[in-house]
Amino acid sequence: MEFNEHYQLGEVVYIIIRNPHAQDVAQVQQAAVVENPERPGELALFVHETYYPFNDEFAIFKSEHEAEQAYTDAFGSPDLGDSYS
């Protein structure tokens, strides 16, 4: 799948991202679609001051509602505390 065909520079998307220190913890997070600074001409996700290349490791959604629904389907009801930015 070519991710550049589905997303546009500057677009806001929502991802389900796992905590790297606790793999059983995941949350819905807003991310920006930006140019990959390491590979000009390719897109990347920018979240938590970090660039992530587009790949199949991320569940990427066009709307927060879609992301929340997928999260609920996979993990049960989300803790709505500080999970969203």
In a domain, residue 52? The reply is yes
User: Which range is most confident: 3-12, 31-40, 51-60?
Assistant: 31-40
In a domain, residue 13? The reply is yes
In a domain, residue 78? The reply is no
Q: Judge whether residue 17 has pLDDT over 90.
A: no
In a domain, residue 49? The reply is yes
For residues 18 and 40, what is the distance between their CA atoms, to the nearest angstrom?
Answer: 26
Token pair of 14 as six digits = 């929502």
Enclosing domain of residue 56 = 3-62
Q: Kindly report, residue by residue over 37-76, the tens digit of the pLDDT.
A: 999 999 999 998 999 988 887 889 999 999 999 999 988 8
pTM: 0.77
59: phi > 0 → left, psi -120 to 50 → alpha, else beta; which? beta
- The more confident residue out of 14 and 77 is 14
DSSP 59-74: EEESSHHHHHHHHHHH
